[in-house]
Amino acid sequence: METAVERHDRMVREERDQAERLRTDQADADIWKPNAGRFRPADATVDPAVDVLAAFAGADGRAVDVGAGGGRIALPLASRVQEVVAVEPSPAMRSVLEAEIQRRGIDNVSVVPARWEDADIAPASLVFAAHVTYGVQDIEPFVRKIDRVATDIAALVAFDHPPQFAMAPFWRAVYGEERLRLPCREELQAVLLELGAEPQEAVLPPQVPQALGTPDDAFAMLRRRMYIGAGNLHERKLESAIDRLTRMRDGELWPVDSHPNPVSIIFWRPGAMA
């Protein structure tokens, strides 16, 4: 019988294998390079997870953000805690993150350019990963290290559905098959329970449907996310799918069949894993 850990890792592997089988573009060594700018933290809005995570860490606490990306959580969190350690392996993401640290004049965020599994990190009151685990191919050592480094609270922020589930109809239209599902909240809960943790949940406001951008931006974004090379025949199928599956509103295209994606913080007291 398949264990929860095995199921999680299989889902990640099969989703990636599907993409590699169908792609017609050239893979970049840094997979985040084409989209890193989209992860730049906004000045006007703050991720709802920040309030909960700040309470977990405490004003005098030290927090480790595993896979910090462009700093959407790490940077606003820095004003609420003593120190934030941002672990981020992607050079493109680090470029966005470091530029925002400098622009905002933040002096209590340190950036560690490494994969979490390879990073040498001192214990911290809070260790968390937000929307990172979907693509982690070996989940057990990943969460065990979070459990080991955290002294008070370990946490994972995750959607109920894969981050790009709104694009599934486009995938179906272009490739003629269903996009395989990445592991999300339900699978993480099962993994943590299997490893001996006692996870709890803090439910956050769901992520509302997002615009795809102007017609040109939407086409370019969907082509990247669906691994379609320039000049490939799949471009015509994508154009047709965009015509059928989107509606124009205020100058931007919106998917016609999209729904809010529930978000939760799964957290536990470290040290109980078998």
Q: What is the domain-level CATH number for residue 158?
A: 3.40.50.150
To the nearest whole percent, how much of the chain has pLDDT over 70?
A: 94
Q: How far apart are CA 125 and CA 159, in angstroms?
A: 24
Domain that holds residue 54: 4-208+260-268
What's the average model confidence in pLDDT over 236-242?
A: 97
CB 267 within 8 A of CB 244: no
On whether residue 127 sits in a domain, the answer given is yes
In this predicted structure, what is the pLDDT of residue 165?
A: 87
43 has pLDDT over 80:
no
Residues 119-161 pLDDT 10s: 999 999 999 999 999 999 999 999 999 999 999 999 999 999 9
How far is the C-alpha of 151 from the C-alpha of 211, rounded, in Å?
40
Predicted TM-score (pTM) of the model is: 0.93
**What are the Cα distances from residue 142, in Å, to 133, 135, 148, 162, 187?**
9, 11, 10, 19, 14
Cβ within 8 Å of residue 128, ≥6 positions away = 53, 56, 63, 64, 65, 66, 146, 153, 154, 155, 156, 157, 265
41-56 mean pLDDT = 86
Q: Number of structural domains, the chain?
A: 1
Q: Strands, DSSP E only, in the chain?
A: 62-66, 83-87, 109-112, 124-130, 150-159, 200-207, 246-249, 252-255, 261-268
- Give the three-state DSSP class for 61: coil
Residue at 32 is within a domain? yes
